[in-house]
Amino acid sequence: MKYAEVQNCIGGAFVSPDAPKLDVYDPSSGRILSRVPLSSARDVDAAVIAAHAALPGWSGTPIKERVQVLYRYKTLLEKHIDELAALVTEENGKITSEARAEVLKSAELTEFACSLPQLVTGEVLEVSRGVECRVEHYPVGVVASVTPFNFPIMVPNWSIPNAIALGNCMILKPSELVPLSARRIVELLQEAGLPPGVLQVVHGGQEAVEAICDHPGIAAVSFVGSTKVAQIVYRRATSHLKRCLALGGAKNHLIVMPDADREMAATNIVASMSGCAGQRCMAASVMVAVADTEHVITRMAEVARAMVPGTDVGPVISAAALERITRYIDEAEAAGATIVVDGRGTKVAGREEGYYIGPTIIDHVTPDMRIAQEEVFGPVLVIVRAKDVSEALEIENASPYGNAASVFTESGSVARYVMEHASAGMVGVNVGVPVPREPFSFGGWNDSRFGVGDITGKGSIGFWTQAKKMTTKWNKEAGVNWMS
């Protein structure tokens, strides 16, 4: 084992819970990197106690002082980018450029949190003579963040900087598949001056998450992961009357019009479907090819075939994921779809035990096929044909998901039409991965998000705070009126 057993962090100290352990694998080699504890409700309780102990001091610290920690943390993320990116590559498998992008994005998320003092200044107005109303934002209290495997550093940083800048104390439950990065996040925050107890890390799986949903000492739960688990977590947390924002899976449709710029469309679409081995909730999954788009498809196939697994495309997360993705492709082929580019059976020299699958493009898929409807979460793009933009939008709208959608066209009116009518929370024009960047918020619609608000950007302020409305009258001459 390259790394010591993963530990929880409670009240600023790293501790080993008395819990069963799970092996942690390097997806590029299949080798065991470490072991992660599957924490219990007792461990969650210890984290909640530590968070509550820190809460009065932290929430009582002025926000301008709190964000000083985050300024330093941002600098530390940048300073340690090579080391952090290498760790992400090791535990998640993504290639170095993708791992570095994840760290850079974490710095951008932290930069936004540093700007929160300018955004939560509150409001004040004299509402009648001598009477003043003001609104101030208060922390929610002890909150939790449950995160998935596909961004071991970035997704925890969707929630941590904003939640703690706004005065909350947090319990992070990272994915048990990628638990190593969380320790470095905590260590860098500690180095930046974060007081003990403001951020706890509890490792584990279902049992720990259920304990987070059930614990009366946790006021809010943010979740990012698959739709199936997002629904479970949303239902369970809200059944205990706590606020919950649960982001789920995706099936993103990219509509390609015949007038699309061939090179721009082909390169952006292939980058979207193959980046991070297709394991992004914003990845292109279904291309809806409108009328004659053969020129784009031919070029896409060239671009995808030129990609070198192991260099341009990393492995998928696990042997089970590789098997699931391969099964989807086999099934589509058996149902009559055409495999244009086939990534099955990929082997990388020297890493033969790694979980590799090359970019795969499948044409003549029909909307009723399983591969056109379900999230595959691998470097696989299916092409569904449509006669016009209305039919393309019907196909997009029929998906129960609603994370992202894009259109590739040179026509402003078609672009606007798709932006208005796509049933997705994040839409793009000539962009393969339409992720909004700060200060804009990230968040989908439909079965890609349960709960109100967004997880990042300005939209997250409402989730991580509660507004207090204050009405005051000091002016004795103000008298009494119908509102008194």
282/384 with CB nearer ligand NAD: 282
**Residues 93, 248, 402, 428: which binds ligand NAD (CB under 6 A)?**
248
248/309 with CB nearer ligand NAD: 248
User: Cβ distance 122 to 466 under 8 Å?
Assistant: no
244 has catalytic annotation:
no
The answer to whether 92 contacts ligand NAD (rule: CB under 6 A) is no
The pattern of x and - marking residues 285 through 324 that bind ligand NAD according to CB under 6 A reads ----------------------------------------
139/314 with CB nearer ligand NAD: 314
Cα–Cα distance for residue pair 50/178, rounded to 1 Å: 24
Paired tokens of 56 = 């009065």
The answer to whether 175 contacts ligand NAD (rule: CB under 6 A) is yes
**Residue (of 409, 380, 93, 65) closest to 251 by Cα position:** 380
The answer to whether 146 contacts ligand NAD (rule: CB under 6 A) is yes
Which part of the chain contacts ligand NAD (CB under 6 A), choosing from 86-94, 99-107, 173-181, 304-312?
A: 173-181
User: Cβ distance 247 to 230 under 8 Å?
Assistant: yes
The answer to whether 448 contacts ligand NAD (rule: CB under 6 A) is yes
The pattern of x and - marking residues 190 through 209 that bind ligand NAD according to CB under 6 A reads ---------------xx--x
The answer to whether 377 contacts ligand NAD (rule: CB under 6 A) is yes
Paired tokens of 358 = 């090359």
Instruction: Tell me which H or E stretch contains 48.
Output: helix 41-59
58/234 with CB nearer ligand NAD: 234
The residues near 193 (Cβ < 8 Å, ≥ 6 apart) are 68, 69, 72
The answer to whether 254 contacts ligand NAD (rule: CB under 6 A) is no
User: Cβ distance 269 to 284 under 8 Å?
Assistant: yes
229 phi/psi in degrees, rounded to 5: -75, -35
Strands (E), 49-157: 123-128, 131-139, 142-146
The answer to whether 106 contacts ligand NAD (rule: CB under 6 A) is no
Cα–Cα distance for residue pair 49/457, rounded to 1 Å: 29
Paired tokens of 303 = 């671009």
19 phi/psi in degrees, rounded to 5: -145, 155
Paired tokens of 24 = 């942690």
167/434 with CB nearer ligand NAD: 434
**Residue (of 114, 132, 149) closest to 317 by Cα position:** 149
Smallest gap from Cβ 417 to ligand NAD, in A, equals 25
In this chain, which residue has its C-beta nearest to ligand NAD? 225
**Residues 139, 148, 310, 359: which binds ligand NAD (CB under 6 A)?**
148
Strands (E), 29-122: 31-37
Which part of the chain contacts ligand NAD (CB under 6 A), choosing from 19-27, 140-148, 159-167, 333-341?
A: 140-148
Give the long-range contacts of residues 475-478, CB within 8 A, separation 24 or more: 475/129, 475/130, 475/131, 477/130, 478/128, 478/129, 478/130, 478/131
The answer to whether 373 contacts ligand NAD (rule: CB under 6 A) is no
Which part of the chain contacts ligand NAD (CB under 6 A), choosing from 30-38, 242-250, 261-269, 456-464?
A: 242-250
**Residues 281, 362, 365, 389: which binds ligand NAD (CB under 6 A)?**
281
The answer to whether 249 contacts ligand NAD (rule: CB under 6 A) is yes
Cα–Cα distance for residue pair 257/292, rounded to 1 Å: 8
**Residues 176, 438, 447, 454: which binds ligand NAD (CB under 6 A)?**
176
* Strand-pair category, 21-26 with 31-37: antiparallel
The answer to whether 403 contacts ligand NAD (rule: CB under 6 A) is yes
173 phi/psi in degrees, rounded to 5: -120, 95
Cα–Cα distance for residue pair 248/230, rounded to 1 Å: 5
213, 244, 276, 281: the catalytic one is 281
List contacts with ligand NAD (CB under 6 A): 146-150, 155, 173, 175-176, 205-206, 209-210, 224-226, 229, 232-233, 247-250, 281, 375, 377, 403, 444, 448
- Write out the catalytic residue numbers: 281
